[in-house]
Amino acid sequence: MTDLFSPVALGANTLANRMVMAPMTRNRCLDTVPTDLTAEYYQQRAGAGLIITEGAQISEQGIGYPATPGIHTPEQIAGWKKVTTAVHDVGGHIYCQLWHCGRISHPDYHGGAKPVAPSAVQPAGQAFTYEGLKDFVEPRALETAEIDAIVEQYRHAAACAMKAGFDGVELHAANGYLLDQFLRDGVNQRNDIYGGSIENRTRLLREVAEAVADEIGANKVGVRISPVNIFNDMHDSEPQALFNAVARMLSGVGVAYLHVVEVSLLGEPDDAVDMTQIRERFSGLYIANGGYDQARGHAAIAQGNADLVAYGTPYLANPDLPERFKQGAALNETDQTTFYGGDAHGYTDYPALTG
């Protein structure tokens, strides 16, 4: 029977199991460059069939949080090369998540300039800055003529990821960041070819996916979406129709996988969107994410509801999560005070079963 521990082909790679380490921001790259400690952290978790890194901004314009890594400069490529080498040295596979925060940012990151977004719609809430929490500002709506440059930023970042030794990339089109902002009509109020109809609102994601696939090969590209997550003040009037269209469009582009955050902001299912409809419209691998434990993960794969299952928080405290699942071992408890920022404590010092 196919389950979490069954191998699976992803592009040209064969993953040892179907457990994915989900992307999780850790805020430990003070100058946007991954460090030796970053490499140790990911190497510890290379027992996952696939690691998806924390979001790496595709340009300085894409920054929205303190101490997050980038993937657009030679220094960042060199830093990530340490990470990919460390993961590959122990037989793991790793994709880089490409990230542009859009309006979920602050002028402090941009020399006083406003963050960019599809429309000048200010999000509720506050931005995390080096000086603490500050109210979000009204962003600047991107001009139509500027959008080609955004697409090229994604293409360049994907090329940089290949130079850094990654096995592929994931486009972050979830959780209220730039690509998600263009998708949802609660934020996208444009009246050009990137706004209005579902076809227009999915245009930027299609152009980015096509550009990145052209650059590195569609079989090395995945996309993450979050159809019912209202995080970062997001909503849409017709989420089922929108994300069904997203799945069809990405299937046409031929990307390798669709990674779906299936739960709401509170971590609960939301019947506003039937995830089965999304899965049925996508021809590649489907990665399910959202509160799965071992039993639900096995069941999702055995029943054909997912090809892989992504785990987030459990991987923070359990670097050897697949082995713990196999042995039925107890899981370490997570220390939420060390999730964001800091040093090795709460990052690389969680014990493994053999430790």
Residues 6+ apart with CB under 8 A from 81: 163, 164, 165
H or E stretch at 251: helix 239-253
**For residue 286, what is the DSSP state?**
E
Of 177, 257, 292, 311, the catalytic one is 177
With contact defined as beta carbons under 8 Å apart, do 242 and 236 qualify?
A: yes
Written as one letter, the residue type at 204 is L
Whether 177 is a known active-site residue: answer: yes
* The two three-digit tokens of residue 232, written as one number: 């970062």
CA 136 to CA 120: how far, in whole Å?
12
Query: How many of the other CB atoms lie within 10 Å of CB of 343?
Result: 11
Residues 6+ apart with CB under 8 A from 206: 249, 250, 253
- The residue among 22, 42, 134, 127 whose CA lies nearest residue 83 is 42
Of 211, 209, 182, nearest in space to 197 by CA: 182
Q: Which residue is it, tokens 């979830």?
A: 174
Residue 193 CA to residue 204 CA, distance in Å, equals 9
Task: Quote the tokens at residue 225.
Answer: 């979406």
- Name the residues annotated as catalytic: 177
